Structure 1
Amino acid sequence: MTQIAAIIGGGVIGGGWAARFALSGWNVTIFDPDPEAARKIDAVMANARRSLPALSDVALPPEGQVKIVPTLAEAVANADWIQESAPERLEMKHRILNEIQTHCRKDALIGSSTSGFKPSELQQGALRPEQIFVAHPFNPVYLLPLIELVGDDQTTARAHAILTEIGMKPLKVRKEIDAHIADRFLEAVWREALWLVKDGIATTQEIDDAIRYGFGLRWGQMGLFETYRVAGGEAGMAHFIAQFGPCLQWPWTKLMDVPELTDELVHTIASQSDAQSGSHSIRELERIRDDNLVSMMRSLKGRNWGAGALLNEHDARLCAGHEPDFTKPFISVDRSIPVDWSDYNGHMNESRYGQVWSDAADAVMRMIGADADYIAAGLSYFTVDTHTKFMNECHVGEHITVETQILEGAGKKLQLFHEMKNASGALVASCTQLLIHVSLETRKSCDPGPQIVTKLAAIMAAQAALSQNEAI
């Protein structure tokens, strides 16, 4: 039997909850008096349908039904999970929660998306206080997995199981406190950022750059304490605190109320940090950290965003101004194999060979003048055929080069032959690749521009003495 989630408040957070549940196979009922609610929910659902399935390598459950209903009572009547996502006004939440409990099942879970209120505050005057708990998400709810759970142990245990089932990361807060855990960090950083702007120390962009090009990348995959444990080197967290702990008493920030670093507190933090890291040595943690950072930043490269845009700019500088010798097979790719290209066999996945050939063809296109400006003007080349032969394995960190020869470059056709070699010069794989010149407007083949014809003729003349590799 399909489970039902009721969403009270269909804004950014409520809409995100609706999408997460629906794309996890739940039916969803939504109550929101906003006349624009349907349009807003549709927009959130469209984004979620595009994004959430991309996180999985297997099919998601069939999407549940999403229905906007006219009354709160109708929304919650048969719900298994009820998520209140109203504005952060305690009196409003009390009124809504009271109405929810009047009409919902006694065994329904009632979570609140509140960023700051404690469960004891939300439960004031409630019919069944233990039924109400904090389930604080992060935007976008359909992608970011963390949910902070605060409330009755039995109730939050049930919530924990459901959230885990739909792919989220529930974090049980041990004791209730204003703003829970994550928002207390965000509040501290936000407060300091406002001071930096007010005092003329940095602009908002400079502050954002400090985060997205620096510690934000480390925090995104290793958190706070494990990052600092690695920074402590082989001596670990205790050494880090000994080195940098006194700085907390210096007037660096506007946040000067810090705990005294007693031996007991240092021991507690250090022992918890050691336990958190499990059996990994500091060297292993450094390798894990580096591999994670490479994968994260390479992902950002694909979107040309933040640190990824910076890497793309650096790549462009590194390869600028290198005109190859066309009288012999020329280097079209020269790089190391990243960690995210490996598979369960411990070597480069076969799909990534296609990436290498694609990168090689892109390099050839730039060499003959079919560069970004040419493509922006509406002309390009499409690959229509490739044949690959595999000779040797290729592993993470291994350096490769691709030597390319142009077999044909007349009219609409561009036929290439690639040989991938490792650092010792051994042949790893080869590929014949046929590209056709196209109009991006008509999406049909057409003759290339005169500058391309001229450049290709010159390269073909330079390569005329080379032996012709036959297509597979």
Structure 2
Amino acid sequence: MKIAAIGGGVIGGGWIARFILAGHDVRVFDPHPEAQRIVGEVMANASRAWAKMFLAPLPEPGQIIWTKSIAEAVEGADYIQESVPERLDLKHKILAEIEAAAPATAIIGSSTSGFKPSELREGAKHPARILVAHPFNPVYLLPVVEIVGGGEAAARATALLTEVGMKPVSIAQEIDAHIGDRLLEAVWREALWLVNDGIATTEEIDDIIRYGFGLRWAQMGLFETYRIAGGEAGMKHFLAQFGPALKWPWTKLMDVPDLDDRLVGMIADQSDAQSGKHSIRELERIRDDNLVGIFQALKANDWGAGQSLREMENRFYARKVEAPSGYPLRLHTARVSGDWLDYNGHMTEFRYLQVLGDATDAFMIHVGLDEAYRAGGFSAYTVETHIRHLAESSGGEKLTVETRLIGHDAKKFRLFHRILKEDGTEAATGEHMLLHVDTKAGRTVPMNDALKARLDQIATEDAALPAPEAAGAAIRAIGQREAVA
């Protein structure tokens, strides 16, 4: 597939990056004197993001071929993405130049955020092949693209853009600003009024979105979110309960359609077709699992709602933990989340180490090597780890870690963990050697008397048990290795 891009700004550069990273060469024309630098910087960010996003090996990137004219860029092209500034007269000029040089079969997608296909096609030689292909920034990450214009060209564009990871949504009827920007515009107008009237600041508005309904929209959109809000009675109940509020003077945007039987029935039927295969309880669990994944990603970046999660976790870590009954200790549990799974649908190897590491942290807090202790300039660092993978773990499974202290002295201690599935099966074991260190000096030092005494106490309990069979064992020969369940 031969691809051309006309315009390399924020949107055009994003398109170029997506095509390139998906393995396609792209012929580019942009007369801006800094175009190559700008696109290069977008490419660098896109490459970084794709390397983090995909677990599968990425294809060999395509090449950017810079051209000196529109005619040179579109010569022989199968698909052309136009991303020039949002002026209809300019778009008409550029589209005319494209049509003069491109093959008659080439599809032309415009990134326009507001103009309709009928407006773009004015004066065109082959109007049916000119489409709206409106993406959202960053194009190299966000997959949705609004396809407006219909016909054979739209079908071909949909197939091509799907192949590079986009989610084309075909809009049957053209309308100013399409769908996405009309929704955004409604929220934007209301936000401007809230700031204008002194009701809220920009930060307060953004926090309400990013800590609240924006998280729900990110994974279920608008109607599926409200279907859940209707409870077991579904969308009709939601519309009956909250529909009258649309007539209340809550907003500056008061022009709303009448929620008559026709519209209520239409929305309810469409909602049933969209989500009816799931019960409300199932939708709630799907929503919750998606939100947990989003929260974890935000926590990893220390951003937005992820900061709330991190702060709450820190409070949990800092709380006084009641000593568990019995020995070995059971201080840590984990639930296998969707982003922990590999291509086989099982928990991937490094997540076992994460669970074991979290269990080690729980043990340290349990014996007093907590935040207050670390604030004094001392901690324990893991210097050696040995993991055995014994059974598969699937998404949603609850794992419990059983922990033993199998050796210690004034400067080090050794832990042996067993990761147990809900049926008691061993999923993995991990053995860890930790050194007690002065974090400022960067060297091993004796631990204080209180910590040493706590370890002595636990060691007394462990002495009553036989040593773990796998403790201290080297990797076995292949013929002797235990079968993976």
TM over 0.5: yes
Which residue identity is paired with 1:447?
Answer: R
Secondary structure of 1:236 counterpart = helix
TM-superposed deviation, 1:246 = 0.4
Contact 1:348 / 1:396 at 8 angstroms: preserved in 2?
A: no
Is residue 405–residue 413 contact of structure 2 (8 Å, CA) maintained in 1?
Answer: no
Change (3 A) 1:378 1:122: farther
Partner residue, 1:143: 141
Q: 1:154 to 1:423 in 2, by over 3 A?
A: closer
Residue equivalent to 1:333: 332
CA contact (8 A) 1:383 1:435 kept: yes
Q: Hey, what's the Cα distance between the residues in 2 that align with 1:83 and 1:378?
A: 58
Residue deviations 1:49-84 (CA, integer Å, cap 9, x gap): 122244334333321111222222211112221111
CA separation in 2, counterparts of 1:17 and 1:439? 51
> Structure 1: how far apart are the matches of 2:336 and 2:421?
10
- 1:154 pairs with 152, 155, 159, which one? 152
Aligned equivalents of 1:344, 1:107: Cα separation in 2: 39
315, 318, 342: which is aligned to 2:316? 318
* Per-residue deviation, residues 171-222 of structure 1 (Å, max 9, x unmatched): 0111110110011000001111111112122221221121122211111111
Q: CA 1:66–1:428 in structure 2 vs 1: closer, same or farther (change >3 Å)?
A: closer
Contact 1:324/1:330 (CA < 8 Å) preserved in 2? no
**SS of structure 1 residue aligned to 2:89:** helix
Q: Which runs of 5+ in 2 are unaligned?
A: 474-485
Residues 264-275 of structure 1 mapped to structure 2, 5 A cutoff: 264-275=262-273
Distance 1:94-1:455 versus aligned 2 partners, 3 A rule: farther
Cα distance between partner residues in 2 of 1:113 and 1:341: 36
Range with greater deviation from structure 2 (90-99 or 242-251): 90-99
Q: Please point out which of 168, 173, 182 is paired with 1:170.
A: 168
The residue aligned with 1:77 is: 75
Pick which of 33-42 and 54-63 moved more: 54-63
Q: Tell me the residue number matched to 2:240.
A: 242
- 3-state SS of 1:179 partner: coil
Count, aligned residues:
465
Task: Say yes or no: does 1:225 pair with 2:223.
Answer: yes
C-alpha separation between the residues in 1 aligned to 2:277 and 2:162? 25
Letter in 2 for 1:114: T
Correspondence list, 1:289-300, <5 A: 289-300=287-298
Residues 1:358 and 2:354 are matched in the alignment: no
Tell me the distance in 2 between the aligned counterparts of 1:51 and 1:244: 40
SS at match of 2:258: coil
Q: Do the aligned partners of residues 395 and 267 (structure 1) sit closer, same or farther apart at CA in structure 2, a change above 3 Å counting?
A: closer
* Corresponding position of 1:60: 58
The more displaced of 241-250 and 87-96 is 87-96
- Once the 2 structures are TM-superposed, how far is the Cα of residue 126 of structure 1 from its aligned partner? 2.0
TM-score (norm 1): 0.87
Look up the SS of the partner of 1:237 in the other structure: helix
Aligned equivalents of 2:344 and 2:369: distance in 1? 39
State the secondary structure of the residue aligned to 1:70: coil
Residues 7 and 28, structure 1, Cα contact 8 Å, conserved in 2:
yes
CA deviation profile, 1:403-451 (whole Å, cap 9, x unmatched): 352634665x65322234567988664321235689999xxx9623x48
Structure 1's 72 and 324: CA in aligned 2 closer, same or farther, altered over 3 A?
Answer: same
CA distance 1:328–1:283, shift in 2 (3 Å):
closer
Q: Percent identity?
A: 53
Is the 2:117–2:149 Cα contact (8 Å) retained in structure 1?
A: yes
Give the counterpart of 1:17 among 9, 15, 27. 15
Secondary structure at the counterpart of residue 76 of structure 2: coil
Structure-2 change in CA distance of 1:116 and 1:81 (3 Å):
same
The equivalent of 1:209 in structure 2 is: 207
Contact kept in structure 2, 1:419 and 1:427, CA below 8 Å: yes
Contact 2:346 2:393 survives alignment (8 Å): yes
- Per the alignment, in what secondary structure is the counterpart of residue 134 of structure 1? strand
Whole-angstrom distance in 2 between the partners of 1:4 and 1:345:
34
* Counterpart residue number, 1:381: 381
* 2:237 partner amino acid: H
Deviations 1:262-302 (A, max 9, x none): 11111111111111124222232222222222222223222
Equivalent position amino acid for 1:95 in 2: K
Report the secondary structure of 2:443's partner residue: coil
| Structure-2 separation of matches of 1:106 and 1:437 | 73
Does 155-164 or 348-357 show the bigger shift? 348-357
Question: Normalising by the residue count of structure 2, what TM-score does the alignment of the two structures yield?
Answer: 0.85
CA distance in 1, matches of 2:63, 2:454: 59
Q: CA deviation at 1:119?
A: 1.0
Q: Secondary structure at the match of 1:170?
A: strand
Deviations 1:81-119 (A, max 9, x none): 111111111111111111111121111111111111111
**Correspondent of 2:111 among 98, 110, 113:** 113
